[in-house]
Structure formats: C-alpha cells, structure tokens
Chain A
Amino acid sequence: MQIIVPIKQVPDVALNIKVKDGEIVQEGISWVISSWDETALEAALQLTEEAGGEVTVLSIGTAKVQEALRKALALGAHQALHIQCDSSAGWDSYQVAKVLAKTLADQDYNLIITGKQAQDSDAGLTPTMLAEFLGLPQVTNITAFKDVSDASITLHRKGDDGIEISKMTLPGVVTVNDSLAEPRLASMRGIMMAKKKPMETVDIHSLGLAPEVLQSGGLMTEVVQYEKPDERKEGRRFEGDETETVPEVMQNLKKNIGLFA
C-alpha cells in the first residue's frame, strides 16, 4: 500500500506566541509538525507496518519545511517530497489544496491520510477540497482502520452517539481523529536513518499551476488580522476546613460572577 501524508509545519503552540499590530511576531517562533498530521503519519506508519508498503510525506513551503519532513522521516516515513516556494504565508485552504492536487495528480498511491485540521488555522477545509479536486472519495474524522487492502478499506468514524462504519474504495482521502493513535517518538536510530532517506524537492513553479493560485495572501478567504485572547486571571485557592471554605466559595461566586443571585 502506497500512502501519501501531507504535513503542515506550524508554530509550536506550546510556546508563548506573541501578536503585535495584528500580526504574529515571527521572531522566536519554533516550528513543528501540526499535531493532527503527526496522528495521520502514525496511522500511515501503522498501516504499512501491518499491510506492507511505503509512506511518502509531503509539504509545501520554504527550505524550513524540510525540518518537518526530516522529522517525519525520523519517525518512519520512507521518503519525502518538498514543494518549494518562496512563501506560503497567508495562503488559504483552497490554494493549498490546489497545489497538493496538482502535485499528486500524476503520483501513484492508494490512500491519502491527513490530520482532520491544521493546528494553526483549525479550518479543516484542505482535505475535503483536495478530495474534490482529485475526484476521490473521502471519509473524515476516522478513529480506526479495518480490512485494509490496496483496493478498499473499512473505516470507523466517530459520531456523537456511536461509531459509523464505512467501506471506501481506494484511492481515497481520509482524515484522522487524534484518538486514533498516539504518535510515536523519534528514536536516535530513526534520526540517523532519516539523514539517508530520499527527500525530493520540486519547484512549485514547475507544477504548471494557474498564476493566481500562487498569489500571496488568500485567494478565496483572507486573514485580516490576529488578536490574542485576554489572559486568564490567576485562580484562587480556598484552603482549610470545608465548613468554612464552602460558604466562602459560595459567597465569592455570588459576589464576583453573580451566580445564585
């Protein structure tokens, strides 16, 4: 089974991201693979470990995204494809899906697995658009794979009150729920092996895309500015005997936020 995993490099949300004048301050940002894409990669690795085959990771961006691709190789992906561009900052989901679709149009694969959304934009649109542009079936928010073959796959999809089980013909597109698998950690051996695995770089201008697809900023939607939410105020701890602290807590809830008023 040949599996493609498009991955997105995003700012590490564990860092204290700063916003100034409506823009994210780039200085000091550390970049990581979007966590949902890490789950997608883990799913792909488990599938190929069980059913055989190879995983190709794919990412669009400047030379910096090679760090993310190299990490994916360290985690176990077999090869990487880097679509190099000067900047993909501000691109909307439509543009990304167009570039991915053009890149994958002449590739040989059985399955495309992605995170259900990206960790930075949280839009969740790209996989669906990609499936549409490629004319492929798609099932979203998958929690488990069963009965895997090169021609079809059974998918468990999480719903509010149960699990929906679907059979999808391949090739197709799947997005994964993060409960599907815990992403593995890179080992020292994996890091060493990653240096020897193939990474192909393709110039985005060589794909033959319409010029407007590559325009800076969004094509269908545009992010106007960013705002940071107000920081949470420090909590207060009530310590002591509960016969004293419970009335004190109740009094505070009434007084400060109007509860039980």
Chain B
Amino acid sequence: MLNQAFAGTGQFAEIRDAVRGLCAKFPGAYWRQLDRERTYPEEFVQALTDSGFLAVLIPEEFGGSGLGVQEAATILEEVQRAACNGAACHAQMYIMGTLLRHGSPEQKSKWLPPIASGELRLQAFGVTEPTSGTDTTSLRTFAKRDGDRYIVNGQKLWTSRAEHSDLMLLLARTTPKEEVTKRTAGLSVLLVDLREAIGNGITIQPIRTMMNHATTEVFFENLEVPAENLIGEAGKGFRYILDGMNAERILIAAECVGDARWFLEKSVDYASQRVVFDRPIGQNQGVQFPIARAFAETEAAALMVREAAQRFDSGQPCGKEANLAKLLAADASWKAAESCLQTHGGFGFAEEFDIERKFRETRLYQVAPISTNLILSYLAEHVLGLPRSY
C-alpha cells in the first residue's frame, strides 16, 4: 500500500506514473533471483530502453526525448522507490553527456541515434585505476598516438557494466604527467567500441561485490582505438568529464531519495502493523523517532536534488548544489536503510523482505561515484574557502 507521504512532489506526474507502471512488472522476486546469481537485469534494462527512459537526455534530433536532468532524476528516483535498481543502467543517461557536449557533429550523428534506440549501450566509464582512485589526474593508463589510431595500455578498476555495454568512454593520458604544466592537462577521452575491443586488446575481469553491481576490472594491452574516436581535443579530457560529474551526482542523489522513500514506507507500514506487547511497535518513540528523522532528512535532500537539477538544466553553475545533493541524499538513504532494518528486527534480514538487499545496494552511495569524504573536502575548499586538505 503506497503512502502519499513518500510520493514526492507532483512534478512530472506522467513520468512518475509511467515508470511506476514499468517497475511493477519487475517485483522483488525478480531482483532477489538476480542478486543470488549475480546476474545482470537484462529484461529490466531492455524495458527501460524500449520505453525511451534511458534516452531522456538525448536531444530529439538524435532520437531521444531532449529533456533535462530534472526529468532524468525523476525517472531514477521512481526506479529506486519501486525497489528496482537503476545502478544497472543509470550511466546510460549521463555518460553520453560528454559525447553530446564535446563530440564532433559526425560522432554525435554516428553514435547518439543507436544509443537512443537501445541498439548500442554506452554504460561503461573507464576512469578509476588501482593506484589513483579519486586522484584522477594521477591515472596511468596511456593512449599513445600512432598515425590514425591510439595504442592504449593500462588498467581500470571499478568499471561498472563493462560486460554489458557496447561502448566505453575511456579517460587516458595522452601526454605524460611530467610533461604538462597543469596536472589536469594531458588527459583525453576516447570512445572505445567494446564489441571489437574485447579479445583484441581488452580483457574484462568481473569483480564479485557485496551487491549485484556488475563491476569489473579492465586490462588494456596494445588496444587500438581509431583516432576519429577521440572526443573533443586531445589533452582536455579532464575538463570534459568534470562537467558530466555534476549530472552524475544529481542523478545518483535522486536514486538515493528514491531508496530512502522506499525504506521509509516499509518502515512505517511495518511499525504500524507489527504488534508486540499488545500495541504497534510504531507507538514507541524509540521506533518512530529514527524513522521521522530519516524522513525529515530525505525531504531536505530531495529539495536540494531539485535545486541542483534546476540549476543544471538552466545552465547555471551547480557544483555546490550537486555535491550537497549527493551528500545529503546518500546520508538520508543510509539513515532510512538503517532505521528500516532496525524497525524490522529479525525480519529485515530475511531475503523475502528485500530490505537486506536494498540495504547493501544503498550503502554503495556513501562511497560511489564519489566518497562522501571527498564531497566534504570539496565543500570545505571550494565553497567555504578553507585550505585544500588533500
């Protein structure tokens, strides 16, 4: 039974309604089986693709809907609120932003229509490396120009969905770090066609994690990438991916809001119905206060997500808001998850309640795609003007 307190705003009601309808076809049992087998939700991703939800940010001229981050955030919030898992495909929405904003007209015409139709999946983003982590400018994967191609060598880690994507956006050094004046220079973005690359210079190794996330480590050994697949100008790749990160943070923050609302609804339902010592457990302040606090924090986070998305869509600077949204929403979903598990007692640990699965899934967002600690560092340095701490 849906509770209106967790329904969010009435904005984009038609999109919310349509996404809810689609998600209703993928109930908890579907996700539990995938989770047990650590398999990719092919049918769910295909349904989202067929309905055009993953192409919401692609302009109409390339076959998408040409809408903004606000609509995309609404879609992902509803996916999570329905206990589905948008992490299987959310990157399809924002990775293409780099191609859209910085790709040549020929690249956009070639790649965006098949991405919009679902013929091609662009869900893999090769950035993080074993030795560099969040210190992106220290990455070591190198793409050496050789005539009309680049030769790529190196390794990426935590590259999610690489096994289920046709294309990968790759950030690699094209000028050695010691030869550039600024550490952010000398990085370039390449579009890698995984259909040709796997077995011909790329090896993908899946990493089993505490949740079903399809993450991998990717090895590059003399991978040949056509020079025409360079996005924008060589050496400016770091800037290109930075402006996509705000969209990523806003969208994942929206997912956290969806998670939080699902946890809160489960908590309220259970606390209202579960009778112990002749009264509902929700009558106890010890049970209701953590739920109420998580609710308050969720609503505050949702407002920040909306503010960040509106600023993004209207072209205003939104680094502060996007980071605040991600921090607050990830904290809210984690707090809601914790109170939900505690409210349910032993039942929360039973698979059939889906709580333990969602608990594991939402924990990720304290760490990815950006650690909450790094957000605090960003806010301290770039918003509050405190000395750089790292």
Partner-B contacts on A (CB < 8 A): 12, 14-16, 28-30, 32, 67, 70-71, 74, 185-192, 194, 234
Distance A32 CA – B2 CA, assembled complex (angstroms): 14
As a 0/1 sequence over residues 46 to 84 of chain B, the CB contacts with chain A under 8 angstroms (1 = contact) are 000011110110001000011100000000000000000
Contact of B14 among A12, A14, A16, A74 (CB under 8 A): A74
Q: Which residues of B are interface residues toward A (Cβ below 8 A)?
A: 1-5, 7, 13-15, 17-18, 21-22, 50-53, 55-56, 60, 65-67, 273, 275
15 CB-based A-B contacts, threshold 8 Å: A14-B1, A15-B4, A29-B4, A30-B2, A30-B7, A67-B13, A71-B17, A185-B22, A186-B18, A187-B50, A188-B52, A189-B52, A191-B15, A192-B65, A194-B14
With a cutoff of 8 Å between Cβ atoms, the chain A residues found around residue B2 in the complex are: 12, 14-16, 30
Interface of A is mostly: mixed
Question: Smallest CB–CB gap between B64 and chain A, Å?
Answer: 8
A28 to B6, CA, bound (A): 10
- Whether A30 lies near B4 (C-beta < 8 A) is yes
How far is B1's CA from A188's CA once the two chains are assembled, in angstroms?
A: 26
Chain B residues closer than 8 Å to A194, beta-carbon distance: 14
Distance of A29 Cα from B17 Cα, bound (Å): 14
What A residues does B273 contact at CB under 8 A? 234
For B18, the chain A residues whose CB sits under 8 A away are 74, 185-188, 190-191
- In chain A, what residue has the closest Cβ to B7? A30
On whether A188 and B275 interact (CB within 8 A), knowing A71-B17, A74-B18, the answer reads: no
Give the distance to chain B from A69, nearest Cβ to Cβ, in Å: 11
B interface: dominant SS: helix
Contact B4 A185 (CB under 8 A): no
B4: A residues at CB distance < 8 A: 15-16, 28-30
3 closest cross-chain pairs (CB), A and B: A188-B52, A28-B4, A186-B18
Most B-side CB within 10 Å, residue of A29, A74, A185, A190: A185
Q: Are A186 and B17 in contact (CB under 8 A)?
A: yes
**Sample of 17 more A-B contacts, CB < 8 Å, known A186-B14, A188-B53, A189-B52:** A14-B1, A15-B2, A16-B1, A16-B2, A16-B3, A29-B4, A67-B13, A185-B21, A185-B22, A187-B18, A188-B51, A188-B55, A188-B56, A188-B65, A191-B15, A192-B66, A234-B273
For A67, what are the chain B residues with a Cβ–Cβ distance below 8 Å? 13-14
Nearest A-chain residue to B15, judged by Cβ: A191
A187 CA / B21 CA spacing, docked (Å) = 10
Contact B275 A234 (CB under 8 A): yes
Query: Within the assembled complex, what's the spacing in Å between the Cα atoms of A234 and B4?
Result: 23
Residues on the B chain within 8 Å of A191, using CB: 14-15, 18, 65
- The closest CB in chain A to the CB of B55 belongs to A188
Which of B51, B66, B67 contacts A185 (CB under 8 A)?
B51
The one of B14, B51, B65, B275 in contact with A71, judged by C-beta atoms closer than 8 angstroms, is B14
- Enumerate chain B residues within 8 angstroms of A74, measured Cβ to Cβ: 14, 18
Bound-complex Cα distance A172 to B66 (A): 42
The listed residue (B13, B15, B22, B65) touching A189 by CB distance below 8 A is B65
Complex CA gap A187/B4 in Å reads: 24
Contact A32 B17 (CB under 8 A): yes
Residues on the A chain within 8 Å of B65, using CB = 188-189, 191-192
Least Cβ–Cβ distance between B372 and chain A, in angstroms: 32
Q: In the complex, how many angstroms separate the beta carbon of A195 from the nearest chain B beta carbon? A: 9
CB distance from B277 to the nearest CB of A (A): 15
Q: Which of A32, A186, A188 has the most CB of B within 10 A?
A: A188
| Nearest CB on A from B181, distance (A) | 45
Q: Which residues of A contact B14 (CB under 8 A)?
A: 67, 70-71, 74, 186, 191, 194
CA A159 to CA B18, docked complex, whole Å: 33
| A38, closest chain B residue (CB) | B21
| Assembly CA distance A191 to B60 (angstroms) | 13
Q: Please indicate which of the listed interface residues B2, B14, B65 has the most CB atoms of chain A within 10 Å of its own CB.
A: B14
Residues in A whose Cβ lies below 8 Å from that of B3: 15-16
A194 and B15 alpha carbons, distance in the complex (Å): 12
* A190–B14 alpha-carbon span in the complex (Å): 10
The residues of B that contact A186 with a CB separation of less than 8 Å are 14, 17-18, 21, 51
